[in-house]
A = this chain, B = another copy of it.
Amino acid sequence: MTLSGELLIGGTARRGQSGEIFGYDAATGEKLPGSFGGASASDLEEAAALAWEAFAKFRETGLEERAVFLETIAEQVLSTGEPLVERAMAETGLPRGRIEGERMRTVIQLRMFAAEVRRGAFQELRLDPADPERKPAPKPDLRLRNIALGPVAVFGASNFPLAFSVAGGDTASALAAGCPVIVKAHSAHPGTSEIVGRAVQRAVEICGLPAGTFALLFDAGREIGQGLVADKRIRAVGFTGSRTGGTALMKIAASRAQPIPVYAEMSSINPVILLPQALRSRAAEIGRAFVGSLTLGAGQFCTNPGLILALEGDGLDTFVQAASEALAQASAQTMLTGGICQSYKNGVAKLQGHAKVRQVALGLEGTGQQASAALFEVSAADFLADRHLQDEIFGAASLVVRCGSEAELDKVLQVLEGQLTVALHMAEGDEGIAQRLLPELELMAGRVLVNGFGTGVEVSPAMVHGGPYPATSDGRSTSVGTLAIYRFLRPVCYQDFPQSLLPKPLGSL
């Protein structure tokens, strides 16, 4: 497949003239074929104008039409075949199985939202019938529905080049809600973005939707991304990335003449709490499973287990021992980008140089953009004394916090920031302490797991991939699962409308 490196705007493709970006082979660091032209302010202007124009028609598409559109995107993404897989593998360093699985996940997400659109519950249709006889004043006819917010800017994530990128969850849920989407491609996988962007563009054409329903922009700097969030026609933002990036966008959005919601999924260290009886009965087993979760995809998951909390004792020693042995044999893995690899190494070096932190294991060494897994430990008192010890290290590094007592464990839990997930490992006899901790855990995270790790994020209606700040910018929302559609909707009430003027879904109530 030849990559043109063009911007996709309004059903056409054209070369961006504002700088250029390239894809790199994550394994070798070599430049991959293709050069991607950066968008200029006038490209952004055109994309935003077309999105606004498209919004009028797209938001009122029928449920069936919109569902078919999402399914057509899914088909088109699937039909990209081998070229997409190869390009994504090269740009990210992720193995074939992962990329193929992630494409299927992307397809499943699109189909799930198609089903959700057909179901129609997201419209929240309500009718309070009129009562002209009511005293002292007649009761009006009131009808409610949710309408789409407007065009949405989506920022692709580095670590999920398909499922959280051009046609990923943010795009799927925004389109499902009736919002046109402008994607700012992540510069770590421009070729993957182009291939998927063209698939979405084809689906727009096949379904006969307004050309402005979708656009893909490359950005050689930060101006276009920031400009999108500031643009008056953009009415919401979906973002997955760093806390620095997310909070910068939040600031721009809040200082607009009309502030807009930013749904930024930013950082999480996903505490794992090992309860005493679980450690007594299967510490080594948990240790090995933990390393499996920690090293999955080179640890580049938002839900990666970056913090282990447990009470001192033989069980914890056994856990650390088993985890250390498993981790020492873990191969170095290619990270997504040179920058991410360097950040990871800096984070690990910081812990290595920390006076109170002890390194307990290091994975096998690698070359170039490969990184070794790492496991550290620290006492609860020392953890409590340095709040930077809860900074996320994006990658396969984790820190065991040894607590001298339940009271100390409580103290650690109380200082932890908002999280995407928190996991409890428990066995018979741990119910009491688990019950006691649960309220704290619910308030801390969007998902609480028992006897598992958060790295698997199921695509299904009951999933919550969100959590209190700074895990996300808005703990009331989720970016995975069907509830994600509600991020892009707002209610409108229609009072005493004549039948002829009522929006279609409200007419038949």
Which residues of A does B touch, CB under 8 Å? 56, 60, 101, 124, 126-128, 136-137, 139-140, 142-144, 147, 149-150, 250, 254, 258-259, 261, 417-418, 426, 431, 434-435, 438-439, 442-443, 445-452, 456, 458, 460-464, 466, 468-470, 473-476, 478, 481, 483, 489-498, 500-501, 503
Chain B residues whose C-beta falls within 8 Å of the C-beta of A463 in the assembled complex: 128, 142, 144, 493
Q: Given A142-B463, A447-B495, A460-B142, are A431 and B501 also a contact pair (CB < 8 Å)? A: yes
Compute how far the CA of A124 lies from the CA of B476 in the bound complex, rounded to whole angstroms: 13
Chain B residues whose C-beta falls within 8 Å of the C-beta of A250 in the assembled complex: 254
Given contacts A128-B460, A149-B475, A434-B501, 10 further A-B pairs with CB under 8 A are: A128-B462, A137-B456, A139-B458, A147-B442, A147-B443, A149-B476, A258-B469, A445-B492, A446-B492, A448-B497
Chain B residues whose C-beta falls within 8 Å of the C-beta of A494 in the assembled complex: 447-448
Q: Given A128-B461, A501-B450, are A478 and B491 also a contact pair (CB < 8 Å)? A: yes
Chain B residues whose C-beta falls within 8 Å of the C-beta of A443 in the assembled complex: 147, 150
- Least CB distance from A58 to B in Å reads 12
Compute how far the CA of A470 lies from the CA of B498 in the bound complex, rounded to whole angstroms: 29
Chain B residues whose C-beta falls within 8 Å of the C-beta of A261 in the assembled complex: 474, 476
Query: Closest residue of chain B to A496, judged by CB?
Result: B450
Compute how far the CA of A497 lies from the CA of B442 in the bound complex, rounded to whole angstroms: 13
- Total identical chains: 2
Chain B residues whose C-beta falls within 8 Å of the C-beta of A140 in the assembled complex: 449, 452, 456, 458
Q: 8 closest pairs, A vs B, by CB?
A: A464-B493, A144-B462, A142-B462, A126-B462, A449-B495, A447-B493, A128-B460, A128-B462
Q: Are B431 and A258 in contact (CB under 8 A)?
A: no
Query: Closest residue of chain B to A470, judged by CB?
Result: B258
Q: Are A476 and B495 in contact (CB under 8 A)?
A: no
Chain B residues whose C-beta falls within 8 Å of the C-beta of A147 in the assembled complex: 442-443
Q: Given A446-B492, A447-B492, A452-B495, are A458 and B142 also a contact pair (CB < 8 Å)? A: yes
Compute how far the CA of A142 lies from the CA of B461 in the bound complex, rounded to whole angstroms: 9
Chain B residues whose C-beta falls within 8 Å of the C-beta of A458 in the assembled complex: 128, 139-140, 142
Query: Closest residue of chain B to A126, judged by CB?
Result: B462
Query: Closest residue of chain B to A506, judged by CB?
Result: B462
Q: Are B469 and A492 in contact (CB under 8 A)?
A: no
Q: Given A128-B460, A456-B140, are A439 and B475 also a contact pair (CB < 8 Å)? A: no
Chain B residues whose C-beta falls within 8 Å of the C-beta of A139 in the assembled complex: 458
Give 19 pairs: A residue, B residue, CB < 8 Å, sorted on A: A124-B483, A127-B462, A137-B456, A140-B452, A140-B458, A142-B463, A144-B461, A144-B463, A144-B481, A258-B470, A447-B493, A447-B494, A447-B495, A450-B495, A450-B496, A463-B493, A464-B492, A464-B493, A466-B491
Q: Are A449 and B492 in contact (CB under 8 A)?
A: no
Query: Closest residue of chain B to A443, judged by CB?
Result: B150
Chain B residues whose C-beta falls within 8 Å of the C-beta of A500 in the assembled complex: 431
Q: Given A434-B501, A451-B496, A501-B435, are A489 and B476 also a contact pair (CB < 8 Å)? A: yes
Compute how far the CA of A143 lies from the CA of B496 in the bound complex, rounded to whole angstroms: 39
Which of A101, A126, A418 has the most chain B CB atoms inside 10 A of its CB?
A126
Query: Closest residue of chain B to A461, judged by CB?
Result: B126
Q: Are B448 and A475 in contact (CB under 8 A)?
A: no
Q: Are B439 and A56 in contact (CB under 8 A)?
A: yes
Which of A126, A443, A464, A495 has the most chain B CB atoms inside 10 A of its CB?
A495
